Amino acid sequence: MNVLVTGGAGYIGTHVAVELSNAGHGVVLLDSLANSHAEAVRRVERVTGREVAFHTADCTDPVAVDRVFTKHTVDAVVHCAGLKAVGESTEQPVRYYRTNLNAVLTLCEVMHAHGVGAMVFSSSATVYGDPETVPITEDMPLAVANPYGATKLFAEQVLADTTAATSGWSVIALRYFNPIGAHPSGLIGEDPHGVPNNLFPYISQVAAGKRDKLSVFGDDYDTPDGTGVRDYLHIVDLARAHVAAVEHLADASGYRAYNIGTGTGVSVLESIRAFERASGRRVPYEVTARRPGDIATCYADPSAAERDLGWRAELSVEQACADAWRWQSANPNGFAGG
């Protein structure tokens, strides 16, 4: 199968490309490079030992996207492109709505024009908002606590409506919990531009001495140690979930959504300690005020993905910390280091 991966030079997209290639699929990558680096594509080629077709283009540009579909045979799309920081979305909501929703609308239009009706969509556990109970199942009410989550929820609705209106379309939305870690080779990993928006790359930079300390946003949540609890998922496990979803698109037409997580919650303080053990470095931190849009506890019931897609998480938080530290140590300046 030939698979177009949007956001293919990004953190998730590169790992998805590696696992798709390892599974024998053809891969075409598309990325605007607004929050990524072309070196990441070259690293994918090093990891897989195969050349990768890559196009620098923005998913919101219908002409550029159409050009990719015209040049390549595309059997399915894995849509990873988009803005993804919860905190930033509360500060720049219009930018998030315009970018993330325009991207999915443009892709649907171009896919329809080229007779392609198969997509795996990168969604998020943020579509559940602040859940009343955990673990979270796919049939729980959908509500959002921030603009980023709203863009994912609205995009899911667009895709559900499109599959209902278009014969033969098959879309699987993967509701990610919290991807962490890096490829065990140390060649690809999370490379945030500027100040990291996510916990683990920030922890990595503190451990490496690039930043003085970590800010822990609140220690007064209703959790065992007062800090936020999340379902941290090794990026390689997440990438393999995409392969499983791609390979099950033909099972049924219509729209389906699956939680992709480990089913276990880990707090911020537990995460810090796990990284300290993996790196052998101390991670200084200070507790600050809660961050707007954050919730106390969020972890998955991933049993539906195992039942329907044959996927389950196999790698631990400790392995993710070790792989993230390997990536950080070998690439102190990220992909910009060459």
Mean pLDDT over 242-268 rounds to 97
The answer, yes or no, to whether residue 338 has pLDDT greater than 70, is no
pLDDT in tens, 235-253: 999 999 999 999 999 999 9
Enumerate the β-bridge partners of residue 173.
121, 257
119: helix, strand or coil? strand
Residue boundaries of the structural domains of the chain: 2-184+232-262
Instruction: Kindly report, residue by residue over 32-67, the tens digit of the pLDDT.
Output: 999 999 999 999 999 999 999 999 999 999 999 999
Closest CA to 148 of 198, 201, 219, 204: 198
pLDDT the model gives residue 169: 98
Query: How would residue 70 be classed by pLDDT, with cut points 50, 70 and 90?
Result: very high
Residues 268-281 have pLDDT tens digits of: 999 999 999 999 99
What percent of the chain is modeled with pLDDT above 90?
A: 92
Question: How many helices (DSSP H) and strands (DSSP E) are in the chain?
Answer: 11, 14
Selection from 261, 79, 262, 102 nearest residue 171 by Cα: 79
> Which residue of the set 11, 96, 128, 148 is catalytic?
148
Hey, which CATH number is domain 2-184+232-262, 3.40.50.720, 3.40.50.880, 2.40.50.100, 3.40.710.10? 3.40.50.720
% helix / strand / coil in the chain, to the nearest 5?
Answer: 40, 20, 40
**Partner residues linked to 122 by β-bridges:** 174
Determine contact, residues 23/242, Cβ cutoff 8 Å: no
What is residue 109's predicted lDDT score, i.e. its pLDDT? 98
Per residue in 71-95, pLDDT tens?
999 999 999 999 998 888 999 999 9
Active site residue 221: no
